[in-house]
Structure 1
Amino acid sequence: MKLLHIDSSPLGQQSVSRQLTARVVRDWVAAHPGTQVEHLDLVVQAPRHLDMDSLGFRLGIDAAGLTDAQRRENEISERLVSQFLAADVVVVGAPMYNFSVPSQLKAWIDRVAQAGRTFRYTEAGPRGLAGGKKVIVVSTRGGAYAANPGLAALDHQESYLRAVFGFFGIDDVSIVRAEGLAMGDAAKAKALAGAEAGIGSLLAPPANEPGRLAA
Protein backbone atom coordinates (compact mmCIF):
# COMPACT_ATOMS: atom_id res chain seq x y z
CA MET A 1 0.00 0.00 0.00
CA LYS A 2 1.25 3.48 -0.91
CA LEU A 3 0.32 6.62 1.00
CA LEU A 4 0.94 10.11 -0.38
CA HIS A 5 1.26 12.70 2.42
CA ILE A 6 0.74 16.25 1.12
CA ASP A 7 1.34 19.42 3.16
CA SER A 8 0.60 22.92 1.87
CA SER A 9 0.90 25.26 4.86
CA PRO A 10 3.94 27.60 4.88
CA LEU A 11 3.84 27.92 8.68
CA GLY A 12 6.28 25.10 9.40
CA GLN A 13 6.19 23.81 12.97
CA GLN A 14 3.49 26.35 13.85
CA SER A 15 1.12 24.81 11.33
CA VAL A 16 -1.84 22.97 12.82
CA SER A 17 -2.60 21.23 9.54
CA ARG A 18 0.94 19.84 9.41
CA GLN A 19 0.66 18.57 12.98
CA LEU A 20 -2.61 16.84 12.19
CA THR A 21 -1.51 15.30 8.87
CA ALA A 22 1.53 13.89 10.66
CA ARG A 23 -0.80 12.36 13.26
CA VAL A 24 -3.04 10.86 10.55
CA VAL A 25 -0.06 9.34 8.74
CA ARG A 26 1.49 8.01 11.95
CA ASP A 27 -1.76 6.36 13.02
CA TRP A 28 -2.41 4.99 9.54
CA VAL A 29 1.01 3.34 9.39
CA ALA A 30 0.50 1.92 12.89
CA ALA A 31 -2.80 0.40 11.76
CA HIS A 32 -1.43 -0.71 8.37
CA PRO A 33 2.17 -1.89 8.84
CA GLY A 34 4.21 -1.95 5.67
CA THR A 35 2.56 1.13 4.18
CA GLN A 36 5.01 3.04 1.99
CA VAL A 37 4.81 6.77 2.73
CA GLU A 38 5.91 9.51 0.36
CA HIS A 39 5.83 13.10 1.61
CA LEU A 40 5.16 15.96 -0.80
CA ASP A 41 5.77 19.36 0.77
CA LEU A 42 4.17 21.89 -1.57
CA VAL A 43 5.97 24.77 0.11
CA VAL A 44 9.40 23.25 -0.47
CA GLN A 45 8.46 21.67 -3.82
CA ALA A 46 5.80 24.08 -5.06
CA PRO A 47 5.06 23.68 -8.77
CA ARG A 48 4.75 26.87 -10.77
CA HIS A 49 1.28 28.10 -11.52
CA LEU A 50 0.03 27.22 -14.97
CA ASP A 51 1.35 29.30 -17.85
CA MET A 52 2.07 28.76 -21.53
CA ASP A 53 5.05 26.58 -20.70
CA SER A 54 3.32 24.31 -18.21
CA LEU A 55 0.16 24.08 -20.32
CA GLY A 56 2.01 22.28 -23.10
CA PHE A 57 0.56 18.88 -22.13
CA ARG A 58 -2.97 20.32 -22.43
CA LEU A 59 -2.50 22.14 -25.70
CA GLY A 60 -1.64 19.01 -27.64
CA ILE A 61 1.74 20.32 -28.72
CA ASP A 62 3.82 17.59 -30.34
CA ALA A 63 6.78 16.63 -28.17
CA ALA A 64 9.17 17.61 -30.93
CA GLY A 65 7.72 21.11 -30.92
CA LEU A 66 8.16 21.76 -27.20
CA THR A 67 10.65 24.31 -25.99
CA ASP A 68 13.14 23.35 -23.29
CA ALA A 69 11.05 25.25 -20.72
CA GLN A 70 7.87 23.44 -21.79
CA ARG A 71 9.64 20.10 -21.63
CA ARG A 72 10.86 20.79 -18.08
CA GLU A 73 7.41 21.90 -16.94
CA ASN A 74 5.75 18.89 -18.54
CA GLU A 75 8.17 16.61 -16.73
CA ILE A 76 7.08 18.20 -13.43
CA SER A 77 3.40 17.68 -14.29
CA GLU A 78 4.06 14.07 -15.30
CA ARG A 79 5.92 13.37 -12.07
CA LEU A 80 3.14 14.82 -9.93
CA VAL A 81 0.26 13.08 -11.67
CA SER A 82 2.12 9.74 -11.72
CA GLN A 83 2.84 10.09 -7.99
CA PHE A 84 -0.82 10.82 -7.29
CA LEU A 85 -2.11 7.95 -9.42
CA ALA A 86 0.29 5.48 -7.78
CA ALA A 87 -1.03 6.24 -4.29
CA ASP A 88 -3.70 4.12 -2.63
CA VAL A 89 -4.24 6.66 0.16
CA VAL A 90 -3.77 10.44 -0.05
CA VAL A 91 -3.59 12.61 3.08
CA VAL A 92 -3.92 16.31 2.26
CA GLY A 93 -3.20 19.14 4.68
CA ALA A 94 -5.46 22.01 3.58
CA PRO A 95 -5.67 25.15 5.71
CA MET A 96 -8.30 27.69 4.70
CA TYR A 97 -6.78 30.82 3.17
CA ASN A 98 -9.26 33.57 2.29
CA PHE A 99 -12.15 31.07 2.10
CA SER A 100 -10.24 28.71 -0.21
CA VAL A 101 -7.05 26.62 -0.26
CA PRO A 102 -3.42 27.80 -0.36
CA SER A 103 -2.22 28.69 -3.83
CA GLN A 104 0.46 25.99 -3.56
CA LEU A 105 -2.25 23.34 -3.22
CA LYS A 106 -4.24 24.85 -6.09
CA ALA A 107 -1.11 24.74 -8.27
CA TRP A 108 -0.71 21.03 -7.47
CA ILE A 109 -4.34 20.35 -8.33
CA ASP A 110 -3.92 22.16 -11.65
CA ARG A 111 -0.96 19.89 -12.46
CA VAL A 112 -2.74 16.61 -11.67
CA ALA A 113 -6.06 17.57 -13.29
CA GLN A 114 -5.12 16.11 -16.65
CA ALA A 115 -7.55 14.90 -19.28
CA GLY A 116 -6.81 11.27 -20.06
CA ARG A 117 -5.03 10.73 -16.74
CA THR A 118 -7.31 11.73 -13.86
CA PHE A 119 -10.49 12.37 -15.89
CA ARG A 120 -11.85 12.27 -19.40
CA TYR A 121 -14.81 13.71 -21.22
CA THR A 122 -17.39 11.40 -22.74
CA GLU A 123 -20.64 11.90 -24.63
CA ALA A 124 -22.37 11.52 -21.26
CA GLY A 125 -20.14 14.10 -19.59
CA PRO A 126 -16.91 13.94 -17.55
CA ARG A 127 -15.74 10.66 -16.07
CA GLY A 128 -13.16 10.34 -13.28
CA LEU A 129 -10.22 8.01 -13.88
CA ALA A 130 -8.57 8.03 -10.43
CA GLY A 131 -11.15 6.11 -8.42
CA GLY A 132 -10.37 3.44 -5.86
CA LYS A 133 -8.34 5.71 -3.61
CA LYS A 134 -8.94 6.85 -0.05
CA VAL A 135 -8.49 10.62 0.45
CA ILE A 136 -8.25 12.15 3.91
CA VAL A 137 -8.40 15.95 3.95
CA VAL A 138 -7.13 17.68 7.08
CA SER A 139 -9.06 20.95 7.08
CA THR A 140 -7.98 23.79 9.39
CA ARG A 141 -9.74 27.14 9.73
CA GLY A 142 -9.30 30.22 11.85
CA GLY A 143 -13.05 30.78 11.93
CA ALA A 144 -16.04 28.46 12.36
CA TYR A 145 -18.04 27.70 9.22
CA ALA A 146 -19.43 24.17 9.41
CA ALA A 147 -22.20 24.84 11.93
CA ASN A 148 -23.00 28.39 10.84
CA PRO A 149 -25.42 28.53 7.88
CA GLY A 150 -24.65 32.22 7.48
CA LEU A 151 -20.97 31.44 6.80
CA ALA A 152 -21.36 28.15 4.94
CA ALA A 153 -21.49 29.95 1.59
CA LEU A 154 -17.96 31.25 2.22
CA ASP A 155 -16.49 27.74 2.33
CA HIS A 156 -14.65 27.27 -0.94
CA GLN A 157 -12.09 25.04 0.77
CA GLU A 158 -13.69 21.74 1.77
CA SER A 159 -16.41 22.04 -0.87
CA TYR A 160 -13.81 22.68 -3.56
CA LEU A 161 -11.65 19.72 -2.55
CA ARG A 162 -14.65 17.37 -2.42
CA ALA A 163 -15.64 18.57 -5.90
CA VAL A 164 -12.14 18.14 -7.32
CA PHE A 165 -11.56 14.65 -5.96
CA GLY A 166 -15.09 13.66 -6.94
CA PHE A 167 -14.37 14.90 -10.46
CA PHE A 168 -11.34 12.59 -10.46
CA GLY A 169 -13.67 9.69 -9.65
CA ILE A 170 -12.79 9.43 -5.95
CA ASP A 171 -15.87 8.93 -3.81
CA ASP A 172 -14.07 7.93 -0.58
CA VAL A 173 -13.18 11.37 0.82
CA SER A 174 -13.06 11.97 4.58
CA ILE A 175 -12.64 15.33 6.30
CA VAL A 176 -10.75 15.79 9.57
CA ARG A 177 -11.65 19.33 10.64
CA ALA A 178 -10.20 21.76 13.18
CA GLU A 179 -11.95 25.11 12.99
CA GLY A 180 -12.21 28.12 15.23
CA LEU A 181 -8.44 28.06 15.71
CA ALA A 182 -8.21 31.86 15.82
CA MET A 183 -11.19 32.35 18.13
CA GLY A 184 -9.35 32.14 21.44
CA ASP A 185 -7.46 29.54 23.45
CA ALA A 186 -10.56 27.65 24.58
CA ALA A 187 -11.93 27.41 21.03
CA LYS A 188 -8.57 26.27 19.71
CA ALA A 189 -8.22 23.59 22.38
CA LYS A 190 -11.74 22.35 21.61
CA ALA A 191 -11.00 22.31 17.88
CA LEU A 192 -7.80 20.30 18.33
CA ALA A 193 -9.50 17.84 20.67
CA GLY A 194 -12.27 17.37 18.14
CA ALA A 195 -9.82 16.79 15.32
CA GLU A 196 -7.83 14.28 17.37
CA ALA A 197 -11.07 12.43 18.17
CA GLY A 198 -12.01 12.52 14.50
CA ILE A 199 -8.69 10.95 13.53
CA GLY A 200 -9.11 8.25 16.14
CA SER A 201 -12.62 7.47 14.94
CA LEU A 202 -11.63 7.48 11.30
CA LEU A 203 -8.75 5.07 11.75
CA ALA A 204 -10.30 2.80 14.37
CA PRO A 205 -10.78 -0.71 12.89
CA PRO A 206 -14.24 -2.29 13.08
CA ALA A 207 -14.54 -4.74 15.97
CA ASN A 208 -14.96 -7.70 13.61
CA GLU A 209 -12.15 -6.68 11.26
CA PRO A 210 -8.93 -5.94 13.18
CA GLY A 211 -6.50 -3.74 11.32
CA ARG A 212 -9.02 -2.59 8.72
CA LEU A 213 -10.02 1.02 8.14
CA ALA A 214 -13.40 1.97 9.53
CA ALA A 215 -15.97 2.95 6.92
Structure 2
Amino acid sequence: MATLLIVKAHPLDAQKSYALRALEEFQTRYASLHPEDKIEVVDVFEDQIPALDKPLFEAMEAAKKGVEINPEQAERLERYNELTKQFLAADAIVVINPLWNLNVPSQLVSWVNTINVAGQTFKYGPEGSIGLVKGKKLLHIQSNGGVYAGQDPAAQYIKSIFEFLGFEDIHQVFIEGQSANPSQAQAIYDKAMVKIDKILESF
Protein backbone atom coordinates (compact mmCIF):
# COMPACT_ATOMS: atom_id res chain seq x y z
CA MET A 1 0.00 0.00 0.00
CA ALA A 2 1.34 3.41 -1.01
CA THR A 3 0.50 6.82 0.43
CA LEU A 4 -0.55 9.75 -1.73
CA LEU A 5 -0.28 13.20 -0.18
CA ILE A 6 -2.44 15.91 -1.76
CA VAL A 7 -1.53 19.50 -0.94
CA LYS A 8 -4.55 21.66 -1.70
CA ALA A 9 -3.54 25.31 -2.01
CA HIS A 10 -6.68 26.96 -3.32
CA PRO A 11 -9.36 28.72 -1.19
CA LEU A 12 -12.25 28.29 -3.65
CA ASP A 13 -14.23 25.19 -4.63
CA ALA A 14 -14.49 23.00 -7.71
CA GLN A 15 -17.39 25.08 -9.06
CA LYS A 16 -15.16 28.16 -9.25
CA SER A 17 -11.71 26.67 -9.76
CA TYR A 18 -10.51 24.62 -12.73
CA ALA A 19 -7.59 23.38 -10.64
CA LEU A 20 -9.86 22.03 -7.92
CA ARG A 21 -12.18 20.48 -10.48
CA ALA A 22 -9.15 18.71 -11.91
CA LEU A 23 -8.16 17.64 -8.40
CA GLU A 24 -11.56 16.06 -7.77
CA GLU A 25 -11.36 14.13 -11.01
CA PHE A 26 -7.76 13.11 -10.38
CA GLN A 27 -8.56 11.89 -6.88
CA THR A 28 -11.54 9.85 -8.08
CA ARG A 29 -9.56 8.27 -10.89
CA TYR A 30 -6.52 7.61 -8.70
CA ALA A 31 -8.69 5.89 -6.07
CA SER A 32 -10.26 3.65 -8.71
CA LEU A 33 -6.83 2.65 -10.03
CA HIS A 34 -5.26 2.22 -6.58
CA PRO A 35 -8.06 1.27 -4.17
CA GLU A 36 -5.57 -0.06 -1.63
CA ASP A 37 -3.61 3.18 -1.37
CA LYS A 38 -3.97 5.73 1.41
CA ILE A 39 -4.83 9.31 0.40
CA GLU A 40 -4.04 12.17 2.77
CA VAL A 41 -5.02 15.78 2.12
CA VAL A 42 -3.45 18.95 3.52
CA ASP A 43 -5.52 22.07 2.90
CA VAL A 44 -3.13 24.96 3.45
CA PHE A 45 -6.03 27.40 3.81
CA GLU A 46 -7.91 25.33 6.39
CA ASP A 47 -5.27 23.31 8.25
CA GLN A 48 -2.74 24.65 10.69
CA ILE A 49 0.42 25.46 8.70
CA PRO A 50 2.93 27.27 10.92
CA ALA A 51 4.70 30.20 9.31
CA LEU A 52 8.48 30.14 9.45
CA ASP A 53 8.79 33.28 11.57
CA LYS A 54 10.85 34.54 14.50
CA PRO A 55 8.92 32.68 17.26
CA LEU A 56 9.21 29.39 15.36
CA PHE A 57 12.92 29.92 14.69
CA GLU A 58 13.44 30.65 18.39
CA ALA A 59 11.52 27.49 19.30
CA MET A 60 13.67 25.43 16.94
CA GLU A 61 16.90 26.79 18.39
CA ALA A 62 15.69 26.32 21.96
CA ALA A 63 14.62 22.75 21.27
CA LYS A 64 18.06 21.94 19.85
CA LYS A 65 19.67 23.21 23.04
CA GLY A 66 17.20 21.48 25.32
CA VAL A 67 15.85 24.81 26.56
CA GLU A 68 12.24 24.90 27.67
CA ILE A 69 9.81 26.68 25.35
CA ASN A 70 6.32 28.00 26.02
CA PRO A 71 3.21 25.91 25.18
CA GLU A 72 2.34 27.96 22.08
CA GLN A 73 5.84 27.54 20.65
CA ALA A 74 5.78 23.83 21.49
CA GLU A 75 2.47 23.37 19.67
CA ARG A 76 3.71 25.17 16.55
CA LEU A 77 6.99 23.25 16.52
CA GLU A 78 5.16 19.95 16.94
CA ARG A 79 2.88 20.77 14.02
CA TYR A 80 5.86 21.81 11.87
CA ASN A 81 7.56 18.49 12.60
CA GLU A 82 4.32 16.58 11.90
CA LEU A 83 4.11 18.08 8.42
CA THR A 84 7.73 17.18 7.72
CA LYS A 85 7.14 13.57 8.79
CA GLN A 86 3.92 13.36 6.76
CA PHE A 87 5.76 14.50 3.65
CA LEU A 88 8.61 12.03 4.17
CA ALA A 89 6.15 9.16 4.71
CA ALA A 90 4.31 9.81 1.42
CA ASP A 91 5.21 7.96 -1.77
CA ALA A 92 3.71 10.51 -4.15
CA ILE A 93 2.80 14.18 -3.79
CA VAL A 94 0.17 16.21 -5.64
CA VAL A 95 0.29 20.01 -5.30
CA ILE A 96 -2.63 22.09 -6.59
CA ASN A 97 -2.55 25.87 -6.70
CA PRO A 98 -3.66 28.92 -8.67
CA LEU A 99 -1.24 31.43 -10.16
CA TRP A 100 -1.66 34.60 -8.10
CA ASN A 101 0.29 37.67 -9.19
CA LEU A 102 2.88 35.37 -10.79
CA ASN A 103 3.30 33.54 -7.50
CA VAL A 104 1.85 30.74 -5.40
CA PRO A 105 -0.35 31.54 -2.37
CA SER A 106 1.70 32.47 0.69
CA GLN A 107 0.06 29.63 2.63
CA LEU A 108 1.61 27.17 0.19
CA VAL A 109 5.02 28.75 0.77
CA SER A 110 4.56 28.11 4.50
CA TRP A 111 3.89 24.42 3.78
CA VAL A 112 6.91 24.23 1.47
CA ASN A 113 9.03 25.58 4.34
CA THR A 114 7.99 22.58 6.45
CA ILE A 115 9.47 20.15 3.91
CA ASN A 116 12.76 21.98 3.44
CA VAL A 117 14.56 20.78 6.53
CA ALA A 118 18.35 20.59 6.65
CA GLY A 119 19.49 17.13 7.68
CA GLN A 120 16.16 15.52 6.82
CA THR A 121 15.24 16.48 3.27
CA PHE A 122 18.53 18.03 2.16
CA LYS A 123 22.06 18.48 3.42
CA TYR A 124 25.09 20.57 2.61
CA GLY A 125 28.17 18.99 1.06
CA PRO A 126 31.54 20.25 -0.15
CA GLU A 127 30.07 21.14 -3.54
CA GLY A 128 26.76 22.55 -2.32
CA SER A 129 23.35 21.26 -1.26
CA ILE A 130 22.30 17.63 -1.76
CA GLY A 131 18.68 16.49 -1.94
CA LEU A 132 17.89 13.58 0.36
CA VAL A 133 14.38 12.74 -0.87
CA LYS A 134 14.58 9.93 -3.39
CA GLY A 135 12.05 7.68 -5.09
CA LYS A 136 9.02 9.92 -4.70
CA LYS A 137 6.80 11.34 -7.44
CA LEU A 138 5.36 14.82 -7.83
CA LEU A 139 2.37 16.01 -9.82
CA HIS A 140 1.91 19.78 -9.83
CA ILE A 141 -1.41 21.12 -11.15
CA GLN A 142 -1.66 24.87 -11.60
CA SER A 143 -4.42 27.03 -13.07
CA ASN A 144 -3.39 30.19 -14.92
CA GLY A 145 -5.65 32.80 -16.47
CA GLY A 146 -3.00 33.49 -19.11
CA VAL A 147 -0.60 31.21 -20.95
CA TYR A 148 2.91 30.82 -19.52
CA ALA A 149 3.86 27.24 -20.50
CA GLY A 150 5.58 26.61 -17.18
CA GLN A 151 7.84 29.65 -17.42
CA ASP A 152 6.05 31.70 -14.77
CA PRO A 153 7.76 32.17 -11.37
CA ALA A 154 5.19 30.03 -9.51
CA ALA A 155 5.68 26.97 -11.73
CA GLN A 156 9.44 27.41 -11.67
CA TYR A 157 9.38 27.76 -7.87
CA ILE A 158 7.55 24.48 -7.31
CA LYS A 159 9.73 22.64 -9.81
CA SER A 160 13.00 24.00 -8.39
CA ILE A 161 12.01 23.29 -4.78
CA PHE A 162 11.32 19.62 -5.45
CA GLU A 163 14.42 19.25 -7.61
CA PHE A 164 16.38 20.78 -4.74
CA LEU A 165 15.02 18.08 -2.43
CA GLY A 166 16.09 15.32 -4.80
CA PHE A 167 12.94 14.57 -6.79
CA GLU A 168 13.53 13.25 -10.30
CA ASP A 169 9.99 12.13 -11.22
CA ILE A 170 8.26 15.52 -11.62
CA HIS A 171 5.15 16.25 -13.70
CA GLN A 172 3.50 19.62 -14.19
CA VAL A 173 0.12 20.24 -15.78
CA PHE A 174 -1.12 23.76 -16.45
CA ILE A 175 -4.78 24.58 -16.98
CA GLU A 176 -4.12 27.91 -18.60
CA GLY A 177 -5.52 30.55 -20.91
CA GLN A 178 -9.16 30.35 -19.90
CA SER A 179 -9.29 34.01 -18.81
CA ALA A 180 -7.58 35.13 -22.01
CA ASN A 181 -9.88 32.96 -24.12
CA PRO A 182 -13.09 32.20 -22.17
CA SER A 183 -14.83 30.56 -25.12
CA GLN A 184 -12.18 27.82 -25.05
CA ALA A 185 -12.24 27.28 -21.27
CA GLN A 186 -13.80 23.82 -21.39
CA ALA A 187 -11.52 22.69 -24.21
CA ILE A 188 -8.50 23.94 -22.24
CA TYR A 189 -9.66 22.00 -19.19
CA ASP A 190 -10.31 18.83 -21.20
CA LYS A 191 -6.85 19.01 -22.75
CA ALA A 192 -5.27 19.27 -19.31
CA MET A 193 -7.25 16.26 -18.08
CA VAL A 194 -5.94 14.20 -21.00
CA LYS A 195 -2.42 14.98 -19.76
CA ILE A 196 -3.36 14.09 -16.19
CA ASP A 197 -4.86 10.77 -17.30
CA LYS A 198 -1.63 9.95 -19.13
CA ILE A 199 0.40 10.71 -16.01
CA LEU A 200 -1.95 8.52 -13.95
CA GLU A 201 -0.90 5.49 -15.99
CA SER A 202 2.38 5.37 -14.11
CA PHE A 203 1.80 7.61 -11.08
Q: Please name the residue that 1:193 is paired with.
A: 190
What secondary structure, in the 3-state scheme, does the structure 2 residue paired with 1:158 have? helix
CA shift digits 1:27-64 (9 cap, x unpaired): 22222230100111111114132211222465464243
CA shift digits 1:37-94 (9 cap, x unpaired): 0111111114132211222465464243323232111111101010100000111102
Matches within 5 A, 1:1-215: 1-13=2-14, 14-56=16-58, 59=61, 61-146=64-149, 152=151, 155-204=152-201, 213=202
The whole-number CA distance in structure 1 between the counterparts of 2:3 and 2:28 is 14
How high is the sequence identity, in percent, across the aligned residues? 28
The whole-number CA distance in structure 1 between the counterparts of 2:135 and 2:48 is 26
What secondary structure, in the 3-state scheme, does the structure 2 residue paired with 1:97 have? coil
For the aligned residue pairs, the C-alpha RMSD in angstroms reads 1.8
Contact 2:59 2:74 in 1 (8 A): no
The whole-number CA distance in structure 2 between the counterparts of 1:125 and 1:47 is 29
Shift of 1:168: 0.7
The whole-number CA distance in structure 2 between the counterparts of 1:100 and 1:166 is 18
Change in 2 beyond 3 A, CA 1:82/1:116: same
How many pairs are equivalent? 200
Contact 2:122 2:131 in 1 (8 A): yes
Contact 1:119 1:126 in 2 (8 A): yes
Paired residue type of 2:176: E
Any gaps of 5 or more consecutive residues in structure 1? 205-212
Report the TM-score, using the length of structure 2 for normalisation: 0.91
Change in 2 beyond 3 A, CA 1:129/1:57: farther
Report the TM-score, using the length of structure 1 for normalisation: 0.86
The whole-number CA distance in structure 2 between the counterparts of 1:12 and 1:62 is 44
Greater shift, 61-70 or 47-56, is seen at: 61-70
Contact 1:141 1:180 in 2 (8 A): yes
The whole-number CA distance in structure 2 between the counterparts of 1:36 and 1:59 is 34
Any gaps of 5 or more consecutive residues in structure 2? none
Contact 1:53 1:70 in 2 (8 A): yes
Change in 2 beyond 3 A, CA 1:188/1:132: same
Paired residue type of 2:188: A
